[in-house]
Structure 1
Amino acid sequence: MTHLTRCHLNPARNRLTSSPQRLHAAVAAAFPPPPASAGPGHRVLWRLDETRQPHPQSTLLIVSPQQPDLTHVIEQAGWPRLATPDNPGWDTRPYTPLLTALRPGTPMRFRLTANPTKAAFRRGQRGVRTAAATPADQIQWLLQRAPGAGFAISQHLDRPDLTVTDCRVRDFQRGPAGRAGSNVHLHAVTYEGRLQVTDPDALRRTLTQGLGRAKGYGCGLLTLAPDSTTPHTPQG
């Protein structure tokens, strides 16, 4: 069973959400350690959706094989005094019905935050992965990966129905607070647009395993919504 969790956060309490490392640790702490027998399908994906209009709003989305316990997230970054047993501050729903309902040719709206990269070649050296920093490179990155991910980007007026809606450069130190760790530099790029399902099995893997790099830091989660839904509301 796969689950989709939506958790609305308090934008005024942003110490947790301002750091990919802290949010990564908080999401990991929402689940018990995976069993030793856990296979490649045992992955947790997350994404932080932030909007400014008509008012600031932050929503944490999680796709996971288990239901999370986000009590600590609500205590640090939600509205803990408003939480009740019936409404703890987050909502988890089965994701499997959407996964099993995918059919070739189905049009869908999508949103994806990813870490697009490209190979930079230097004479006498192997290619080094660097950030795809321009909108053209970012869009090309997704167009190249769409077929293998189980979908095709729809066309509008002979152009891909695809927009880069946000790009944030994130620099932070990986590892527990107070300890020396490696520096992480990534471009978190948010895409929105329309797609058509081409390979349901491949798309199911993409939806549950993620797309691209930096999955532990809020990248890779693709969500779908019916083509008529405006604005994008992930279905589950």
Structure 2
Amino acid sequence: MGRMNHLTLVTATSVRVKSWSDHGELHRLVMGMFQSASLPGEPNEKRAASNILFRVDEAPTGKVLLIRSDIAPTNLPRGAQTKAVSWQMPHAGAAVRFRLTANAIRRARPVTPAVKRGVGISPVDDVADWVTNKLTGALDDVTLFSHDRSVVTSGKSALQLDVVDGYGLVRDPAALQSLLRVGVGRSKAFGCGLLTVARA
């Protein structure tokens, strides 16, 4: 696993976005920032191959696009900032607070040739249970203190966003690092899955 990861902040005032609720548009915007980065993988695998994740945060000055990637973006708008940050994981037992933007859904039946993808999925009512299960092995004693659910679009269909803030105790630093790097859950191409942590 790479020793470095790249965090990029892009303010809303530095980019042209028709609709911040169109996460298909945001996906194209984010991937455009890596246009000349020679990303590995096939065209439809480039995001996953470099673990490019993003989410939209609300700051006092407006919306901010937070991007995490293995490779530094190469086509940033003016004013955007990228930092290469070494992985310095909290030790086992350390208390941390976290934020996760996720697509908290549950599939009612498995995908088979007779069952189309997207059929039989439903929103999760108990988000705390869903988050705890997703973070199992990385964090113990997960407690949520904030949850906001909204519905945006992937450009083709409705997309449920669950933004959660919580606390937990580090169980396995390596498992936590893996989740920070590859993301949590589905729809990672559309602004879901990015997990961030800080010492509590």
Which TM bucket (shorter chain)? Answer: 0.7 to 0.9
State the Cα distance separating 1:141 from its structure 2 match: 0.8
Instruction: Evaluate the alpha carbon distance shift between residue 169 and residue 162 of structure 1 in structure 2; reply closer, same or farther with a 3 A threshold.
Output: same
Corresponding residue for residue 67 of structure 1: 72
C-alpha change, 1:129 and 1:44, in structure 2 (3 Å) is farther
User: Of the candidates 169, 172, 175, which is equivalent to residue 151 of structure 2?
Assistant: 169
Structure 1 residues 36, 217: CA separation in 2 closer, same or farther (over 3 Å shift)? closer
Higher CA-based Rg? 1
Query: Contact conserved, 1:116 with 1:138, CA < 8 A, in 2?
Result: yes
Q: Which residue of 2 aligns with 1:28?
A: 31
Match of 1:131, as an amino acid? S
User: What is the alpha-carbon distance in structure 2 between the residues aligned to residue 35 and residue 63 of structure 1?
Assistant: 16
- Report the CA distance shift for 1:4/1:49 in structure 2 as closer, same or farther (over 3 A): same
Query: Where does the alignment leave 5 or more consecutive residues of structure 2 unmatched?
Result: none
Matched, 1:57 2:45: no
Q: Summarize the Cα distance change of 1:69–1:7 in structure 2 as closer, same or farther, 3 Å threshold.
A: same
Whether the aligned pair in 1 keeps the contact of 2:152 and 2:159 (CA below 8 Å) is yes
Letter in 1 for 2:50: H
Q: Is the 8 A contact 1:70 1:90 kept in 2?
A: no
Question: Deviation of residue 18 (structure 1)?
Answer: 3.3
Q: Distance in 2 between matches of 1:119 and 1:163?
A: 26
How many Å apart are 1:167 and its aligned residue?
0.9
Unaligned stretches of 5+ residues in structure 1: 75-87, 155-160, 174-182, 228-236
Alignment partner, residue 111 of structure 1: 99
* Separation in structure 2 between the aligned mates of residue 167 and residue 18 of structure 1, nearest angstrom: 13
Aligned residues: 186
- Indicate how the Cα distance of structure 1 residues 90 and 11 shifts in structure 2: closer, same or farther if over 3 A, else same: closer
1:141 and 2:92 aligned? no
Partners of 1:186 and 1:131 in 2: CA distance: 11
Superposition TM-score, scaled by structure 1 size: 0.68
Question: How far apart in 1 are the matches of 2:161 and 2:148?
Answer: 8
Identity rate of aligned residues, in percent?
A: 31
Mapped contact 2:6–2:71 kept (Cα < 8 A): yes
Residues 1:217 and 2:199 aligned together: no
2:106–2:122 CA contact under 8 A, matched in 1 = yes
- 1:9 corresponds to 2:17: no
Q: How far, CA to CA, are the matches of 2:161 and 2:170 in structure 1?
A: 24
